[in-house]
Amino acid sequence: MDVDEFRERGKEMVDYICDFMSNISERRVTPDVGPGYLRPMLPPTPPHEPEPWDDIMQDVETKIMPGITHWQHPRFHAYFPAGNSFPSILGDMLSDAIGCIGFSWAASPACTELETIVCDWLGSAIGLPNDFLYFSNKSRGGGVLQGSASECVLVCMLAARAQAISRLKNSPAYANYDETAILGKLMAYCSRESHSCVEKDAMICFVRLRILEPDEKSVLRGETVQQAIEADIAEGYVPFFVSTTLGTTACCSFDNLEEIGPVCKKYPGIWMHVDAAYAGNSFICPELKYLMSGIEYADSFNTNPNKFLLTNFDCSCLWVRDRFKLTSALVVDPLYLQHTHADTAIDYRHWSIPLSRRFRSLKLWFVIRNYGISGLQAYIRNHIRLAKRFENHVKRDERFELCNEVVLGLVCFRANGSDKLNQKLLSAINDSGKIHMIPARVNQKFTIRFALAAPNATDDDDVMDELANIREKKRKATLDQKRSFFVRMVSDPAIQPGFTKTPNNRARLDTQATIGGLGSGSPTSRSWISKPLSIFESDTSELSLRFRHWDTTFGLKPTSNGSRRGSSNGCSPDPSPSVSPSRTRSPNGKA
């Protein structure tokens, strides 16, 4: 494609995008396809000769679009929003055209400098303490754009781990320990309601993670953290990282930073991270800033403009109070990456895992400038208003029950009745192709999440009537109604292949065995430890895995030749909450 053809095709593509976005509500929100649908539609090998552009675009409409779940559809109410807007799309277009790889200041100065400035803009609009902003007097902090919230938590955990190891190595008690021995002593903490990425990050960092029970409103409390830390110190562990959440994934609850912060400060070297992947964006509204009270105790904070600030994936902002603590954990400095301004400029390669990085700040800059903070506030307030509207519908309709405190754009609700009934209702909702929602377990109950997601959501997109209709139809339908594979995949963990069910009583025993000295009624007695590579430590014929998002426990059955592969059979969820197959041992050898 030469520049003349690109000019023409580019304009056509903009037209295609405009039509697609204007008419998206005419499409099914979820696709009606099963796994493998695309394979027979495309040739098995790539074309040897160039193909006409028209043929390629034809295939987009006839083969790709039928397999798309439309996240920008007005009736898409699953997950959190996937940020999207025209200025953001234009920003990404330009970033792709510039095509620079801004790993260091020298590799593309504007790429680095705009990122620092835009992070400061957003950080100050959110109301982060000045210590987190780069261009603030005597600040050691600053912001960076990562690809995902998972990476934000990971780099902070890595930094906290490096700080803890270095501190311990300098103390007489650990003088004879090498780094790997110290790793076995470290303990991180989070709530059961925190995102599963915290658990994955702890696996990557090779540290133990104690997963704590929140209170009945799904809020992690200071006393719970304090009790767990004390119990672990008594067992010989070294607490080093507490990951809190503002706006949890399941029900958008807010951990109590005002209580947890002072607890972290009581002990040497505990890093408190605040994951506000979705909710953090909303703090640009003055009336919502109260939700982050206690932020002054945080060492780091992340939010994803690609969730709730009209910016396309990927764009996840991380701010740290001390950038030197972050970079000292990640610096590797080969000759070919060095440059003469390294002393005075930021090199973002030291702030993240990958070396190469996209020019992400361009789209966020476009969005902030084109909407203005007032336009972004209006967008957030509109989502909250519509969520409140749906909440009122639920409250007024005696067939349904509200299951969370609606603060932002997420409503958790359920039909009165059993979990089974609600699972069936959710399947029917998704089967309809008209609305898409996903489940969450809130207070031990199967609930349905209604999340505002469409950028231009309006009152016309009201789903309540549709929902009531579906519920009625469902009640009348036969119980063995056929469900499509896709729908079951998104709403029913039972069909995930490769796992078989594990009896839960063993897991419960293991869980309790990890806690010493606490009464069984205390919140920490219901916590559990996620331990790296515990999968290889099984002394029984089955290996247990826990999927916190589903609140289920599965066992992997060894295959007949002894290799540890999951069977290809389906499985059923074991909906027992707050237990896990933790099979960790305390450092002093006690089970």
The verdict on 298 binding ligand PLP (CB under 6 A) reads no
Q: For ligand PLP, which is the closer residue by CB, 415 or 438?
A: 438
Q: For ligand PLP, which is the closer residue by CB, 389 or 549?
A: 549
From candidates 25, 69, 136, 148, binder to ligand PLP by CB under 6 A: 148
From candidates 316, 327, 377, 525, binder to ligand PLP by CB under 6 A: 316
Residues 121, 333: Cα–Cα separation, whole Å? 30
Binding to ligand PLP by CB under 6 A, coded x per residue (else -) over 265-284, reads: ----------x-xx------
Residues 199-258 that bind ligand PLP (CB under 6 A): 245, 247, 249
Residues 82, 386: Cα–Cα separation, whole Å? 17
Q: For ligand PLP, which is the closer residue by CB, 130 or 196?
A: 196
Residues 185, 167: Cα–Cα separation, whole Å? 13
Using alpha carbons, list the distances in angstroms from residue 581 to 201, 207, 535, 586: 18, 17, 10, 15
Q: For ligand PLP, which is the closer residue by CB, 151 or 542?
A: 151
Residues 482, 406: Cα–Cα separation, whole Å? 34
From candidates 70, 73, 75, 195, binder to ligand PLP by CB under 6 A: 195
Q: For ligand PLP, which is the closer residue by CB, 292 or 428?
A: 292
From candidates 107, 122, 144, 149, binder to ligand PLP by CB under 6 A: 149
Residues 6+ apart with CB under 8 A from 577: 441, 444, 551
The verdict on 300 binding ligand PLP (CB under 6 A) reads no
Could you tell me the smallest distance in angstroms from the CB atom of residue 174 to ligand PLP? 32
The verdict on 291 binding ligand PLP (CB under 6 A) reads no
From candidates 72, 88, 150, 191, binder to ligand PLP by CB under 6 A: 150
Q: For ligand PLP, which is the closer residue by CB, 249 or 352?
A: 249
Could you tell me the smallest distance in angstroms from the CB atom of residue 447 to ligand PLP? 16
Residues 349, 232: Cα–Cα separation, whole Å? 35
Name the CA dihedral angle for 349, 355, 356, 361, rounded to a multiple of 10 degrees: -30
Could you tell me the smallest distance in angstroms from the CB atom of residue 3 to ligand PLP? 36
Q: For ligand PLP, which is the closer residue by CB, 88 or 514?
A: 88
The verdict on 572 binding ligand PLP (CB under 6 A) reads no
Phi-psi bin for 433: left (phi > 0), alpha (psi -120 to 50), beta? left
Q: For ligand PLP, which is the closer residue by CB, 213 or 275?
A: 275
Using alpha carbons, list the distances in angstroms from residue 194 to 97, 219, 275, 513: 37, 10, 8, 23
The verdict on 191 binding ligand PLP (CB under 6 A) reads no
Q: For tokens 């650990």, what's the residue?
A: 174
Q: For ligand PLP, which is the closer residue by CB, 122 or 149?
A: 149
Q: For ligand PLP, which is the closer residue by CB, 163 or 304?
A: 304
Contact region with ligand PLP (CB under 6 A), list: 142-150, 423-431, 457-465, 565-573: 142-150
Alpha helices for 267-400 (secondary structure H):
305-308, 323-328, 361-396
- Sign of the CA dihedral with 167 first, then 172, 177, and 183 last: negative
Could you tell me the smallest distance in angstroms from the CB atom of residue 246 to ligand PLP? 8
Residues 75, 433: Cα–Cα separation, whole Å? 9
Interior/surface letters 465-500, b for 16+ CB within 10 angstroms, e for the rest? eebeebbeebeeeeeeeebbebbbebbbbbebeebe
Residues 6+ apart with CB under 8 A from 463: 75, 77, 390, 435, 450
> Six-digit token pair at 560?
């007949």
The verdict on 76 binding ligand PLP (CB under 6 A) reads no
Q: In what order do the strands lie in the sheet with 500-501?
A: 500-501, 552-556, 543-547
The verdict on 404 binding ligand PLP (CB under 6 A) reads no
Binding to ligand PLP by CB under 6 A, coded x per residue (else -) over 77-116, reads: ---x------------------------------------
The verdict on 352 binding ligand PLP (CB under 6 A) reads no
Residues 491, 548: Cα–Cα separation, whole Å? 15
Q: Which residue in 534, 116, 136, 139 sits closest to 364, CA to CA?
A: 116
Q: For ligand PLP, which is the closer residue by CB, 202 or 238?
A: 202
Binding residues (CB under 6 A) for ligand PLP: these are 80, 148-150, 195, 197, 245, 247, 249, 275, 277-278, 304, 316
